[in-house]
């Protein structure tokens, strides 16, 4: 039986696919240790929003690592008023690897920010991350690499509960609270308590650093996909957000991974472009070389803020491709169509003559037509199409019902 509620389920799934956050990671200080001020964050956020060639939706979100403004004990970070001024959404972060006393200051900064900014902040918060790679840093690999001190799984789970207590009955009460870590930490069963405590899993994945594997640029996508797949398998069905990934434009070779602008663009095209618009992504990073350049350096722009990236970020190589096959997409709107329609709209045993055709007109001029129950998706180039994937993709749905089953 076909019901209008089932069509609504598809629309809701599509809405989720189209509403993904897209942005970068932002530190609280420059590479020389100087604390960023509100004007610095505003300039960075506006630069990100104005990047030339940005994929549909642009880069309008920011992931933060701490709630504390540099140079203060527990004052709220000035990135918050900067985000309000520039309408930049935020994945808030609380640093969790410095012990209970330091984390108490993070909690105080969070509480103060809620009191000071209220709904102006609440409307911008994508989520709250309690910690960043703390579990990785206490792992054998983290210890071998002499990383900063981390935090134990039970500690992170306890911190997550403390954050939920802070935001209860406030403007942030509906914000998902989770943790960000490397994929190797998420698949480690000893960290299960953190998975249990989290509303979402923040995934940090860098094939560049996987030097014990075949990590040349050609194999980078398969390494990324394998790591993401393993994390999703360990997530208990909870959302997995891409909180860090990228490829360095300069720096030392790691295994077979060679930093270069050409390889960074390859990684962007093959890993980033399929994710943008369909999955929450905070890329690493827009700029990491102000004023000095680290080794390795992942920034899309150099030491001077500019809206001109060091390579083409338009994902244009993905435009104009035409294909028609049985639905087997891996992400985004096509995936939403496949999963929802096949499970909800028809059963293989039924012999109805219902046809559902859905046409998507994206800002890059790509047109996708999905047809059910035949289960085919065709994508090609449309002409003179304007719009924004992140705001309101022009969606035209035509449903031809030749046999009605109880509607």
pLDDT digits (tens, 9 = 90+) for 242-296: 999 999 999 999 999 999 999 999 999 999 999 999 999 999 999 999 999 999 9
Q: Which domains does the chain have, with CATH numbers?
A: 20-318 (3.20.20.80), 323-400 (no CATH)
The pLDDT, as a whole number, for residue 378 is 40
DSSP state of 388: -
Beta bridge partners of 326: 376
- Residue tagged active-site, from 106, 133, 147, 391: 133
User: Which residue, 43, 65, 260, is CA-closest to 268?
Assistant: 260
Does 385 have pLDDT greater than 70?
no
State the average pLDDT over residues 194-200: 99
Asked about 106 being catalytic, the answer comes back as no
Distance separating alpha carbons of residues 178 and 196, to the nearest angstrom: 10
The pLDDT, as a whole number, for residue 375 is 40
Does 232 have pLDDT greater than 50?
yes
Tell me whether the omega of the peptide bond preceding residue 373 falls within 30 degrees of 0, making it cis: yes
Does 15 have pLDDT greater than 50?
no
Distance separating alpha carbons of residues 186 and 262, to the nearest angstrom: 31
The pLDDT, as a whole number, for residue 143 is 84
State the average pLDDT over residues 191-201: 99
**Both ends of the chain: CA-CA distance in Å?**
8
Beta bridge partners of 180: 132, 202
DSSP state of 402: S
What count of other Cβ atoms lies within 10 Å of the Cβ of residue 130? 31
Beta bridge partners of 76: 68
- Residue tagged active-site, from 42, 147, 244, 391: 244
User: Which residue, 134, 135, 264, 251, is CA-closest to 190?
Assistant: 135
Asked about 147 being catalytic, the answer comes back as no
Whether the CB-CB separation of 205 and 215 falls below 8 Å is answered with: no
């Amino acid at each position: 039986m076909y019901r209008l509620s089932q069509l609504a389920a598809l629309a809701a799934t599509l809405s989720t696919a189209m509403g993904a956050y897209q942005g970068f990671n932002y530190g609280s200080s420059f590479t020389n240790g100087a604390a960023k001020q509100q004007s610095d964050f505003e300039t960075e956020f506006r630069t990100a929003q104005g990047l030339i060639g940005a994929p549909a939706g642009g880069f309008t979100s920011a992931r933060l690592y701490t709630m504390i403004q540099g140079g203060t004990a527990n004052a709220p970070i000035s990135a918050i008023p900067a985000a309000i001024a520039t309408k930049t959404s935020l994945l808030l972060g609380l640093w969790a690897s410095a012990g209970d006393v330091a984390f108490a200051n993070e909690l105080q900064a969070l509480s103060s920010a809620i009191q000071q900014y209220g709904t102006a902040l609440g409307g911008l918060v994508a989520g709250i991350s309690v910690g960043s790679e703390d579990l990785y840093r206490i792992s054998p690999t983290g210890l071998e690499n002499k990383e900063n001190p981390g935090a134990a799984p039970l500690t992170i789970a306890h911190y997550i509960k403390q954050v939920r207590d802070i935001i209860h009955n406030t403007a942030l009460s509906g914000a998902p609270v989770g943790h960000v870590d490397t994929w190797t930490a998420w698949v480690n069963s000893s960290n299960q308590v953190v998975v249990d405590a989290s509303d979402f899993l923040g995934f940090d994945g860098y094939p560049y650093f996987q030097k014990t594997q075949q990590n040349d640029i050609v194999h980078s996508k398969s390494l990324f996909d394998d790591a993401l797949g393993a994390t999703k398998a360990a997530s208990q069905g909870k959302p997995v957000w891409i909180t860090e990934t990228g490829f360095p434009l300069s720096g030392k070779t790691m295994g077979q991974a060679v930093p270069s602008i050409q390889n960074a663009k390859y990684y962007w095209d093959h890993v980033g472009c399929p994710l943008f618009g369909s999955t929450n992504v905070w890329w690493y990073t827009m700029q990491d070389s102000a004023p000095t350049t680290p080794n390795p350096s992942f920034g899309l722009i150099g030491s001077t803020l500019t809206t001109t990236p060091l390579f083409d970020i338009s994902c244009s190589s993905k435009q104009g491709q035409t294909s028609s096959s049985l639905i087997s997409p891996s992400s985004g709107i096509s995936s939403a169509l496949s999963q929802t329609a096949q499970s909800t709209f028809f059963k293989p045993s039924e012999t109805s003559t219902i046809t559902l055709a859905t046409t998507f007109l994206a800002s890059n001029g790509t047109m996708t037509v999905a047809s059910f129950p035949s289960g085919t998706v065709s994508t090609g180039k449309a002409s003179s199409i304007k719009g924004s994937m992140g705001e309101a993709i022009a969606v035209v749905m035509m449903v031809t019902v030749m046999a009605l089953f109880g509607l």
